[in-house]
């Protein structure tokens, strides 16, 4: 019987007519989800990229428990609280130098939506006619109407096309064609009507785990600065160590005008997001004229319990050898990827820090490739949580992962290639 016949729950990115009955997870621990049958499922994608240090990190869990003794949600328009103030200060200290203000929201999508509105408000309040947003081909920035507009057009947003606003798109910098991307951005900038370039630094996530080198990010910043455009870095996925540094922008030596972060902000324990901006953007909204305020909020802005989890996450980064774990994990990935680089069953084997991806060479590629559901079922039968993007298999495990756990995942990937080559029985 299908899941839609048993439960009223409508799951995300799920075709309930085709997907199996959902197993209940009853507990999480380290790199594992424990299901109702007692199976320990290796969480090889960090539960959609949010879990950084591992499930239920003790420092973060303790902070959450303590916060619940004093707080639930409080309005953040006329009041503040210590956890939000301290977390904002902590984010400014660890982010690329020059970012001076923090706006809290509750998801990656909303952090990017906030960034888009900040950018447009910046120019509007200065009396400048700049209202175009520039994005990169294949990008994905979220599922709100604004972030869908900024993402690549396709299966993710086709039913909602009539709601979406137009954006300018530069080509993805494919190897050997990098200059095409830079030239396209330069042409748009020269025109003088673009407000901002919104970009996923170094790695495009849901667009296929496409990776480009850091020197191009440096060039993107140079071009946007030349033409007085803002650079918005969507670090929702790439932040908190995923690419090998705390934020991906560090590898390019740049300071974005606006930086979006979520997912690993609380170590993945609770939903929280933040949009950091340079002082000039805040100051463009600073006035005795109330109509120039920043018109954005959500009911759960700066939730005190989530902020406490964020503060605990900062403590983990300060006091535990997280960066050593990142380096070790990156090395373990690199060693295990070697076997696939000469394997004709795979193409475009790639890595950015703790993120690895490889394309299974099949006749039908893309997000809706028929191999996607077969691969998910194959990994699920082996107690591995791996959700390929069509024929693109990727791993993004929490930083507590061991060599033996990684070996399990890589062995399964090797077996999966033979599995999908066989006719469905």
Residue-wise pLDDT tens digits, 26-66: 999 999 999 999 999 999 999 999 999 999 999 999 999 99
Are residues 272 and 165 part of one domain? yes
My answer on whether 380 and 349 are in the same domain is yes
For 62, the token pair is 């303790």
Same domain, 149 and 209: yes
pLDDT at 425: 43
> Is 320 within 8 Å of 95 (Cβ atoms)?
no
Model pLDDT, residue 19:
81
The per-residue pLDDT for 278 is 98
44 and 154 assigned to the same domain:
no
Contact residues for 1 (Cβ-Cβ < 8 A; gap 6+)? 21
Residue 336 to residue 151: CA distance in whole angstroms: 32
In total, the chain counts a number of residues equal to 425
Examine the domain organization and report whether 204 and 252 are in the same domain. yes
Q: Are residues 342 and 302 part of one domain? A: no
Residue 69: which domain range? 60-319
pLDDT by residue (tens digit) across 371-423?
999 999 999 999 999 999 999 999 999 999 999 999 999 999 999 999 987 77
CA distance 320 to 290: 45
261 and 370 fall within a common domain: no
Q: What is the pLDDT of residues 163-214, one digit of tens each?
A: 999 999 999 999 999 999 999 999 999 999 999 999 999 999 999 999 999 9
**Dihedral sign, CA of 282, 285, 287, 290?**
negative
Write down the pTM of the prediction.
Answer: 0.96
Number of Cβ within 10 Å of residue 9's Cβ equals 10
* Claim to verify: residue 252 and residue 355 sit in the same structural domain: no
Domain at 385, CATH number: 3.90.1150.10
The number of folded domains in the chain is 2
Pair (293, 371) in one structural domain: no
**Do both 277 and 378 map to the same domain?**
no
92 with 176, same domain: the answer is yes
Percent of the chain whose pLDDT exceeds 70: 98
């Amino acid at each position: 019987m299908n899941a839609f016949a048993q439960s009223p729950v409508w799951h995300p990115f799920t075709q309930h007519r085709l997907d199996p009955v959902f197993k209940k997870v009853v507990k999480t621990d380290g790199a594992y989800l424990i299901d109702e049958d007692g199976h320990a499922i290796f969480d090889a994608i960090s539960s959609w990229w949010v879990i950084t240090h591992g499930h239920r990190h003790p420092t973060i869990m303790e902070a959450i428990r303590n916060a619940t003794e004093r707080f639930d949600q409080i309005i953040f328009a006329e009041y503040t609280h210590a956890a939000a103030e301290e977390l904002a200060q902590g984010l400014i200290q660890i982010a690329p130098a020059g970012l001076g203000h923090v706006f809290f929201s509750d998801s990656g999508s909303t952090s990017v939506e906030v960034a888009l509105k900040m950018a447009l408000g910046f120019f509007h309040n200065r009396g400048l006619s700049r209202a175009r947003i520039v994005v990169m081909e294949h990008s994905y920035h979220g599922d709100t109407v604004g972030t869908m507009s900024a993402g690549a057009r396709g299966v993710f947003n086709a039913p909602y096309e009539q709601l979406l606003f137009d954006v300018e798109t530069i080509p993805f910098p494919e190897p050997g064609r990098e200059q095409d991307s830079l030239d396209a951005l330069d042409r748009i900038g020269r025109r003088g009507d673009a407000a901002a370039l919104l970009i996923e630094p170094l790695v495009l996530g849901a667009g296929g785990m496409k990776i480009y080198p850091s020197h191009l990010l440096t060039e993107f910043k140079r071009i946007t600065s030349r033409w007085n455009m803002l650079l918005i870095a969507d670090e929702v996925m790439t932040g908190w160590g995923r690419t090998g540094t705390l934020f991906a922008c560090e590898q390019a030596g740049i300071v974005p005008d606006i930086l979006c972060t979520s997912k690993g902000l609380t170590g993945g324990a609770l939903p929280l997001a933040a949009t950091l901006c340079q002082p000039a953007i805040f100051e463009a909204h600073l006035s005795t004229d109330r109509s120039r305020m920043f018109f954005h909020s959500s009911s759960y802005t700066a939730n005190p319990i989530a902020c406490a989890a964020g503060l605990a996450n900062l403590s983990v980064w300060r006091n535990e050898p997280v960066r050593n774990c990142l380096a070790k994990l990156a090395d373990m990935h690199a060693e295990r990827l070697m076997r696939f680089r000469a394997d004709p069953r795979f193409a475009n084997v790639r890595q950015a820090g703790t993120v690895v991806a490889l394309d299974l060479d099949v006749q039908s590629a893309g997000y809706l490739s028929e191999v996607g559901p077969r691969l998910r079922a194959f990994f699920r039968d082996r107690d591995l949580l791996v959700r390929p993007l069509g024929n693109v298999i990727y791993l993004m495990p929490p930083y507590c992962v061991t060599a033996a756990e990684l070996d399990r995942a890589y062995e399964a990937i090797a077996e999966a290639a033979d599995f999908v080559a066989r006719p469905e029985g």
